[in-house]
């Protein structure tokens, strides 16, 4: 079995443009553009202006954009503005949200 790759974008990274990763990406950076990956994890210092598309998204930073994922987990450090489209959604108490949530099959 092939091992899964993980790309990590630390807080001193700033990207203008689309980020595409086949496997998993961990984001603690400033990104102005869309992110596509199998699994996406954003940390508290992340600042994303763009859409996220993945199978699994764990959101803990600032996001202005839409999320399309099978499973979305919103951490208490999250600040999200946009549309969440998912099969399952979990939200920790304390998250700052200005969202519309849509469930797909």
Q: What percent of the chain has pLDDT over 90?
A: 93
Please check whether residue 1 lies inside any domain of the structure. no
Please check whether residue 104 lies inside any domain of the structure. no
Please check whether residue 37 lies inside any domain of the structure. yes
pLDDT at 1: 43
Q: How many domains does the chain have?
A: 1
Please check whether residue 38 lies inside any domain of the structure. yes
| Mean per-residue pLDDT, 29-42 | 98
| Mean per-residue pLDDT, 70-83 | 98
What DSSP letter does each residue of the chain carry, written as one string?
Answer: -PPPPEEEE-TT-EEES-EEEEEEEEE-SEEES-EEEEEEEE-TT-EEES-EEEEEEEE-SEEES-EEEEEEEE-TT-EEEEEEEESEEEE-TT-EEEEEEEE--
Q: Which band of pLDDT confidence, cut at 50, 70 and 90, is reported for residue 2? A: low
pLDDT at 104: 82
Look up the domain containing 66 and give its range.
6-93
| Mean per-residue pLDDT, 44-55 | 98
Please check whether residue 100 lies inside any domain of the structure. no
Please check whether residue 99 lies inside any domain of the structure. no
pLDDT at 4: 78
Instruction: Please tell me whether the overall predicted TM-score, pTM, comes out greater than 0.85 for this model.
Output: yes
């Amino acid at each position: 079995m092939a091992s899964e790759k993980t790309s990590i974008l630390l807080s001193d990274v700033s990207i203008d443009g689309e980020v595409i990763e086949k496997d998993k990406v961990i984001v603690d950076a400033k990104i102005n553009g869309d992110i596509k990956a199998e699994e996406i994890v954003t940390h508290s210092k992340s600042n994303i202006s763009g859409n996220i598309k993945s199978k699994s998204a764990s959101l803990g930073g600032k996001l202005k954009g839409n999320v399309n994922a099978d499973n979305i987990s919103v951490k208490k450090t999250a600040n999200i503005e946009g549309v969440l489209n998912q099969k399952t959604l979990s939200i920790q108490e304390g998250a700052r949200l200005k969202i519309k949530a849509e469930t797909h099959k």
